C-alpha cells in the first residue's frame, strides 16, 4: 500500500508509523527523520534545513521534494511506503501526485490522526528522542525508557529535540493549520482520507488505524 500519514506535530505519527510499517511490510519514510539524519551527519542538505526546522518553519520545497523523491525511489519502496511528514503543503502534494503518475502508481490512503491541541502539547513536552536515530522515540511519562536518558533500542543518549521548545511548537502548530491542513481537503477530493482519533494507548491507536486502512486496501 502507498499511504500518507497526516496530523499535527506530536500527534504520534512517528510512533504509529513504526508499527503500521512493520504490520504492512512497507518502509516508514519520515522527512523529519531524513532531515535530522542529515543534520547529525553534517551534510550540506542538513545545513540548509537546520535553521528552518529550529524556527518551526517548513524547509523549502526545492530541498524537500528532491530528498523525498530520492528516498521513494529506493528499491525497498517499490511496492509501497508509509509517508510521515510529507507532503506538508499543497504544492508538495501536487509534486507527489506527479511523481506517482509518472510511474503509473497512485496513493491508496491518507490516514489523518486527530488529537486535541492540549494533548499534543503534553506529548511534545515529554518527548525524548535518541541521538543515534531520531525514529527511536520515548516519552517521560507515556513511554518511559527502562533506564533514564538511555534508548531501549540502541543504547543511544536520549535528548529533547531542538524544535520542541514551547515557542517553536507554537509556530509548528500554526504552520500545520495554515499550510498542512489544506492537504486534507485536497485528498478528500480524491476520496482518499480516513480520519481516526489518536487518543488512547499507542496500541489502541494502531488497531484503530489498521481497521480504518482495511477500507482502502
Residue ranges binding Zn ion (CB under 5 A): 130, 132-133, 136, 151, 153-154, 156
Residue 38 contacts ligand AP5 per CB under 6 A? no
120 within 8 A of 41, measured Cβ to Cβ: no
If we measure between CA atoms, which residue out of 161, 198, 139 comes closest to residue 6? 198
Q: Which stretch binds ligand AP5 (CB under 6 A): 12-20, 70-78, 104-112, 182-190?
A: 12-20
- Between the alpha carbon of residue 31 and those of residues 56, 72, 135, the distances in Å are 14, 11, 11
- 88 is in the binding site of which of Zn ion, ligand AP5, none (Cβ under 5 to 8 A by kind)? ligand AP5
**Which one from 13, 71, 128, 208 is the annotated catalytic residue?**
13
12 belongs to an annotated ligand binding site: yes
Interacting residues of 48 by C-beta distance below 8 A, sequence separation 6+? 59, 63
- 153 is in the binding site of which of ligand AP5, Zn ion, none (Cβ under 5 to 8 A by kind)? Zn ion
**Which one from 88, 123, 128, 208 is the annotated catalytic residue?**
88
Query: How far from chain centre, in Å, is Cα 7?
Result: 8
Question: How big is the site for ligand AP5, counted in residues (CB under 6 A)?
Answer: 35
- Size of the chain in residues: 217
Specify whether 71 is catalytic. Answer: no
Binding test (CB under 6 A) with ligand AP5, winner from 90, 202, 207, 212: 202
- 15 is in the binding site of which of Zn ion, ligand AP5, none (Cβ under 5 to 8 A by kind)? ligand AP5
Q: What angle do CA 202, 186, 188 make, to 5 degrees?
A: 65
3-state secondary structure of 30: strand
If we measure between CA atoms, which residue out of 98, 39, 28, 97 comes closest to residue 63? 39
93 within 8 A of 31, measured Cβ to Cβ: no
Active site residues: 13, 88, 127, 161, 172
Numbered residues of the known binding site for ATP: 10-15, 127, 137-138, 200
Numbered residues of the known binding site: 10-15, 31, 36, 57-59, 85-88, 92, 127, 137-138, 161, 172, 200
Amino acid at each position: 500500500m502507498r499511504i500518507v500519514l497526516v496530523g499535527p506535530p506530536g500527534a504520534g505519527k512517528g510512533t504509529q508509523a513504526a508499527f503500521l510499517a512493520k504490520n504492512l511490510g512497507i518502509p516508514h519514510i519520515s522527512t523529519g527523520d531524513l532531515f535530522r539524519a542529515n543534520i547529525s551527519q553534517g551534510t550540506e542538505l542538513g545545513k540548509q534545513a537546520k535553521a528552518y526546522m529550529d524556527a518551526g518553519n517548513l524547509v523549502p520545497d526545492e530541498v524537500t521534494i528532491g530528498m523525498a523523491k530520492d528516498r521513494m525511489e529506493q528499491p525497498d519502496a517499490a511496492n509501497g511506503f508509509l509517508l510521515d511528514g510529507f507532503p506538508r503543503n499543497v504544492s508538495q502534494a501536487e509534486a507527489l501526485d506527479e511523481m506517482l503518475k509518472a510511474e503509473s502508481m497512485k496513493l491508496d490512503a491518507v490516514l489523518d490522526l486527530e488529537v486535541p491541541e492540549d494533548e499534543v502539547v503534553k506529548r511534545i513536552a515529554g518527548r525524548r528522542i535518541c541521538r543515534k536515530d531520531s525514529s527511536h522515540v520515548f516519552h517521560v511519562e507515556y513511554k518511559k525508557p527502562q533506564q533514564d536518558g538511555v534508548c531501549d533500542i540502541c543504547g543511544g543518549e536520549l535528548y529533547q529535540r531542538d524544535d520542541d521548545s514551547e515557542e517553536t511548537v507554537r509556530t509548528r502548530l500554526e504552520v500545520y493549520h495554515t499550510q498542512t491542513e489544506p492537504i486534507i481537503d485536497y485528498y478528500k477530493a480524491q476520496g482518499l482520507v480516513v480520519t481516526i482519533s489518536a487518543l488512547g494507548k499507542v496500541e489502541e491507536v494502531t488497531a484503530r488505524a489498521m481497521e480504518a486502512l482495511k477500507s482502502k486496501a
